[in-house]
Amino acid sequence: MPRIVFLALVVLISGVATGDVADVYDFEDRAQEQRYQNLIAELRCPKCQNQNIADSNAPIARDMRDEVYRMMKDGAGNEEIVESLVGRFGEFVRYKPEFDSRTFLLWATPVITVFGGLLAVAVVIIRSRRAGAEGSVLSVEEKARVDRMLADKEQDRTS
Amino acid sequence: MKRFLLFLPLLVAVVIGVVLFAGIGKDPTKLESALIGKPVPEFGLQELRNPDTMLDQSLFRGRVTLLNVWGTWCPACRDEHDDLMWLAEEKGVPIIGLNYKDNREDALVWLDRLGDPYREIIYDPRGTLGFDLGVYGAPETFIIDAGGVVRYRHVGVINETVWEQALQPVINELQGKG
């Protein structure tokens, strides 16, 4: 009996959990739905600036989702849909901005950083190699000193 | 050369510091409109006060106008209303209203109570023109030139300071040209 009460409670409580963004759209197949989800995850909400329109429940994000859905139903391609929203709200709504002169640094920074790091490592290695090669050559005095030290050691052991 | 290398981290820190400092105080929620330099999008919507009158983009031809996006659901629109009245009455600025995602009855009551600064009001209950204009939060105000081309957008409340520092210079320049 207590188990049934417990189960009933679980069922009752679990009903409370619902998503924030609950639009209902019909898709022809799984692939189309996936395409829609990818698109709205890539578009940024102009009102809630750190959310994509899939996440945001701002009215404008809703309108944008509706527009994406409507254009998809009309057979528009991904690029066409994104362009139409960029035309209204600006480059800002792209989470993946186009590669051009303004976004050059944004895209190139990782490459520049990695390249710079490799360069630094290469310089350090080359320098230490060169220093190592030079260091192995002993001057005459040094060689004499080493011989003396080794000879002393030999003496210690035999005595 | 060795000495210079010692100062490299300092140099990098200073450059990054300058770049980051330049960003302080900028309001990231204010975006430049994507429509600047483009004509007002095509539309066909009713006039708020006279449902029989249909308005379209030719409304903006012939003179420099302010296009003010508002709704009764928007508290900040209430804040700027007195300043819009001041602009319309004292400064004689032609203001076109865009009643955005609102309903007619509420909007008419609002205008009755607070005064009506608008020459014409586009009634856009579904927000279609607003969407095409890239409106992401009322109030927003656009400056449209005599050829019907969007020249400037201000996001947020209009007051005397905004008028003097942002809007008036743009309007003066546009009227000087035309």
Structural tokens at position A78: 């991904």
pLDDT of residue B115: 93
Whether pTM > 0.80 for this model: the answer is no
ipTM for this prediction: 0.78
Find which of A51, A63, A112, A123 to mutate to test the B interface (most B CBs within 10 Å of its CB). A63
Q: How far is B111 from chain A (nearest CA, A)?
A: 24
**Looking at the domain assignment, is residue A11 inside a domain?**
no
Residue B143 lies in a domain: yes
Looking at residue A40, which CATH number applies to its domain?
A: 1.10.8.640
Given its phi and psi angles, is residue B96 left (phi above 0), alpha (psi -120 to 50 degrees) or beta? beta
Q: Which of B31, B101, B127 lies nearest to residue A46, judging by beta carbons?
A: B31
Q: How many domains does chain A divide into?
A: 2
The token pair at A114 is 């990695």
Chain B residues within 8 A of A60 when measuring between CB atoms: 135-137
Positions of chain B with pLDDT under 70 = 1, 177-178
Q: How many domains does chain B have?
A: 1
Q: What pLDDT is stored for residue A15 in this prediction?
A: 56
- In terms of DSSP bridges, do strands B150-155 and B140-144 run parallel, antiparallel, or are they unpaired? antiparallel
Beta carbon pairs, A and B, within 8 Å:
35
- Whether A1 is in a domain gets the answer no
Last residue of a domain, one of A50, A68, A93: A93
In a domain, A15, yes or no: no
Coil, helix or strand for B97? strand
Which residue range forms the structural domain that includes residue A45? 23-93
Question: What pLDDT score was predicted for residue A19?
Answer: 47
> Among A93, A118, A150, which residue terminates a domain?
A93
Residue B21 structure tokens: 């400092």
Q: Are residues A71 and A118 in the same domain?
A: no
Position B147 in a domain: yes
- Copy the structure tokens of residue B49: 């006060």
What residues in chain B have their Cβ under 8 A from chain A's Cβ atoms?
28-29, 31-35, 101, 127, 131-137
Dihedral sign for Cα atoms in the order B129, B133, B135, B141: negative
| Per-position b or e across B57-81, b if 16+ CB within 10 A of its CB | eebbeeebbbbbbbbbebeebeebb
**How confident is the prediction along chain A (159 residues), in pLDDT tens digits per residue?**
677 777 776 666 665 544 455 567 888 888 889 999 999 999 999 888 889 999 888 889 999 999 999 999 998 889 999 999 999 998 889 888 888 888 888 889 999 999 999 999 999 999 888 877 666 677 788 888 888 899 888 777 776
> Mutate which of B40, B129, B136 to disrupt the A interface (most A C-beta within 10 Å)?
B136
Evaluate whether residue A29 is within a structural domain: yes
* Claim to verify: residue A41 and residue A89 sit in the same structural domain: yes
Closest partner residue to B29 among A49, A67, A91, by Cβ? Answer: A49
A86 and B137 within 8 Å at the Cβ level: the answer is no
- Testing the interface with B: which of A68, A81, A88 to mutate, by most B Cβ within 10 A? A88
Instruction: Enumerate the residues of chain A whose CB falls inside 8 A of the CB of residue B31.
Output: 46, 89-90, 92
The string of pLDDT tens digits covering residues B69-120 is: 999 999 999 999 999 999 999 988 999 999 999 999 999 999 999 999 999 9
Torsion angles phi and psi, residue B145, rounded to 5: -80, 180
Domain membership flag for residue A13? no
Q: Do B31 and A90 touch (CB under 8 A)?
A: yes
**CATH number of the domain encompassing residue B88:** 3.40.30.10
Looking at the structure, do residues A84 and A109 belong to the same domain, yes or no? no
Among the candidates A65, A93, A121, a domain finishes at A93
B67: which strand partners?
B96, B142
Beta bridge partners of B121: B97
In a domain, A99, yes or no: no
- Strand, coil or helix: A122: helix
Q: Do A91 and B34 touch (CB under 8 A)?
A: yes
Domain of residue B55: give its range: 31-177
Task: Please indicate, yes or no, if residue B11 is contained in any of the structural domains.
Answer: no
